[in-house]
């Protein structure tokens, strides 16, 4: 039975994941298109009640995974990309509110503009920057000290951080590739020592219009 399951894992996972892209992880570089567009490639999304204020919710989105230490201070957000958290507060899997972020400036002098939460003009896969919503601008942090923006009970951050994700990706690839049949104990964290670009917002949960929420992150790009 174990052999059968392992064999199934190998065959199916190899077909499912594809043998050409082995850098897949939580969602890091999860398609050929996104491997070529790291600035729009979402690595992870986290949603949790604030450890410092139970009335607040914290939303995290990480992009551009696998930034090595040597490139920590020279990897930047793409001004052509709109980063969004979408929030469904009535259970229909359609966003009722969005929080948006987009960068202006260049290289080591970027500013991230956060808007919302606000109702979007268009739901679905084609979006625009919302107008007239609360905006907080914060300088992008390119170094170790996080620059935090705050307004009306909302805190925001944008910049390079340690990748919070952890996973023995190399062993997983060996298993999927048929080179191993079990994980090692202890495993080896493939994300140790690597960085991501992170967007973080903490805001009063009361702004989100419900207690049962569905959250997802999206990146959208200006089309030619």
Partner 1 sequence: MQRIGKILLVLPLLGPGTLAVAACGREGTAPAAPGMEASVVMNMDLAQEDRFGLPAIATVFIPTSLKDAYNRAAPSGDVATFKSLIVEKLMAFGQDATSANALASALTPDIQPIDLSQPTGFLNGRKLDDDVITAELGLIFGSNADLNDDHVDANDKPFLATFPYLAGPHVR
> At a CB cut-off of 8 Å and minimum separation 6, what does 187 contact?
168, 171
Q: Which of 118, 133, 164, 174 binds partner 1 (CB under 8 A)?
A: 164
d(CA 198, CA 192): 16
User: Distance between CA atoms of 112 and 79, rounded to whole angstroms?
Assistant: 9
Residue 139 or 177: the one with the smaller Cβ distance to partner 1 is 139
Q: What is the DSSP string of 133-189?
A: S-EEEEEPB-SSSPP-EEETTEEEEEEEEE------HHHHHHHHTTS-SS--SS---
Calculate the alpha carbon distances from 26 to 46, 191, 192 in Å.
Answer: 12, 11, 14
Number of residues that bind partner 1 (CB under 8 A): 122
Interface residue with partner 1 among 64, 66, 76, 81 (CB under 8 A) is 81
**Residues β-bridged to residue 46:** 60
Of the residues 157, 173, 203, 207, which one makes contact with partner 1 according to CB under 8 A: 157
Contact 159, 140 (CB under 8 A): yes
By beta-carbon proximity to partner 1, the closer residue of 116 and 217 is: 217
> Shortest approach of partner 1 to residue 208 CB, angstroms?
8
The reply on whether position 133 binds partner 1 by CB under 8 A is no
Task: Pick one of 66, 194, 203, 207: the residue that binds partner 1 (CB under 8 A).
Answer: 194
Q: Is residue 3 within the footprint of partner 1 (CB under 8 A)?
A: no
Q: Site residues for partner 1, window 88-127 (CB under 8 A)?
A: 88, 92-94, 102, 104-106, 109, 111, 113, 123-127
Q: Does the footprint of partner 1 cover residue 154 (CB under 8 A)?
A: no
Candidates 97, 98, 99, 160: give the one binding partner 1 (CB under 8 A).
160
* Residue selected from 177, 178, 187, 209 as contacting partner 1 according to rule CB under 8 A: 187
Binding test (CB under 8 A) with partner 1, winner from 134, 178, 189, 209:
189
Do 43 and 197 touch, CB atoms closer than 8 A? no
Q: How far is the CB of 179 from partner 1 (least distance, A)?
A: 14
Q: Give the residue carrying structure tokens 């199916």.
A: 12
- 24 in Cβ contact with 30 (< 8 Å): yes
Structural contact between residues 128 and 121, judged by C-beta atoms closer than 8 angstroms: yes
Interaction residues for partner 1, span 8-67 (CB under 8 A): 8-9, 11-13, 15-18, 20-21, 24-27, 30-34, 37, 40-49, 51-52, 57-58, 60-61, 67
């Amino acid at each position: 039975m174990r052999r059968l399951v392992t064999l199934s894992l190998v065959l199916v996972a190899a077909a499912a994941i594809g043998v050409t892209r082995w850098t897949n992880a939580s969602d890091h570089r999860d398609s050929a298109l996104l491997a070529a567009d790291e600035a729009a490639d979402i690595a992870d999304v986290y949603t949790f009640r604030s450890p410092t204020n139970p009335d607040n919710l914290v939303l995290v989105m990480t992009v551009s995974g696998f930034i090595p230490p040597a490139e920590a201070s020279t990897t930047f957000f793409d001004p052509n990309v709109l980063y969004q958290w979408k929030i469904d507060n009535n259970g229909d899997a359609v966003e009722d509110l969005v929080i948006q972020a987009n960068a202006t400036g260049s290289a080591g002098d970027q500013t991230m503009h956060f808007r919302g939460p606000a109702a979007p003009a268009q739901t679905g896969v084609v979006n625009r920057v919302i107008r007239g919503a609360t905006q907080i601008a914060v300088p992008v942090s390119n170094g170790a000290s996080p620059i935090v923006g705050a307004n009306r009970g909302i805190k925001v951050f944008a910049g390079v951080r340690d990748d919070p994700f952890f996973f023995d990706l190399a062993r997983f690839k060996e298993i999927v590739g048929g080179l191993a049949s079990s994980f090692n104990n202890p495993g080896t964290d493939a994300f140790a020592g690597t960085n991501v670009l992170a967007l973080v917002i903490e805001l009063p949960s009361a702004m989100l219009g419900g207690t049962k929420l569905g959250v997802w992150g999206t990146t959208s790009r200006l089309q030619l």
